[in-house]
Amino acid sequence: MLMMKDRSGNTPLIMACRNGYCEVAEALLKVAGVAGDDGRLLRLLDRDHELNTPLHCTVESGDLKTFLLILETWDQEVQLIEGNSRKYYLTENSNYVGLARGDGNTCLHLAAMIGRLDMMQLILSRDTNINQRNDQLATPLYLSAQPNFLECVEYLLTIPDCDCELSNIQNISPLMIACKE
């Protein structure tokens, strides 16, 4: 039942995360298996037809409580895996927050689009590429600058690796957006 998907590829966990139902997500993770069991980890890696993971859905919904639950569960599972033979899960998914969905957006891109500085800080504390580009070649800085999320832009610019001159597919950079404002 937990692995069933609807026509859009949504699992119950993805739907709970998308709608900000933290208690439901927590219950689903408990039912999925005990810590260290493949069930919980596999549920965290489920993707819908747009390649969203449960974590992408929590960021997009802006629900910090569910976002923290998913990150905490991931961390618990990774710690249990590192000491045993199930390391194959980590090969492709070692940077869970850095996984891109179908349009190339990572959790950092999504947090930047909705101006969630708190989420951006948590994501960047996990060794995420601040200059990663999506399918439109937009960086998180570009996506924060476009709707004028000034707090997010200022924060990103404090990070030494942040490149404010990377242009998107239309050859527009965050610096060019700032000059227009």
Could you report the per-residue pLDDT of 146-174, keeping only the tens digit for each? 888 999 999 999 999 999 999 999 999 99
Per-residue confidence band for 117, with pLDDT thresholds at 50, 70 and 90: very high
Q: What is the CATH number of domain 97-181?
A: 1.25.40.20
- Per-residue pLDDT of 126-152, as tens digits, reads 889 999 999 999 999 999 998 889 999
Q: Is 79 exposed, middle or buried (0-12, 13-18, 19+ CB in 10 A)?
A: exposed
User: Which whole-number Å values give the CA distances from 72 to 3, 66, 159, 167, in the listed order?
Assistant: 21, 10, 25, 34
pTM listed for this prediction: 0.88
Residue range(s) occupied by CATH 1.25.40.20 in the chain: 1-94, 97-181
HEC string for 74-130: HHHHHHHHCCCCCCHHHHHHCCHHHCCCCCCCCHHHHHHHHCCHHHHHHHHCCCCCC
Out of 3.40.190.10, 3.40.50.1100, 1.10.3720.10, 1.25.40.20, the CATH code matching 1-94 is 1.25.40.20
- Per-residue pLDDT of 43-93, as tens digits, reads 888 899 999 999 999 999 999 999 999 999 888 877 766 555 555 455 455
Contact, 45 vs 14, CB < 8 A?
A: no
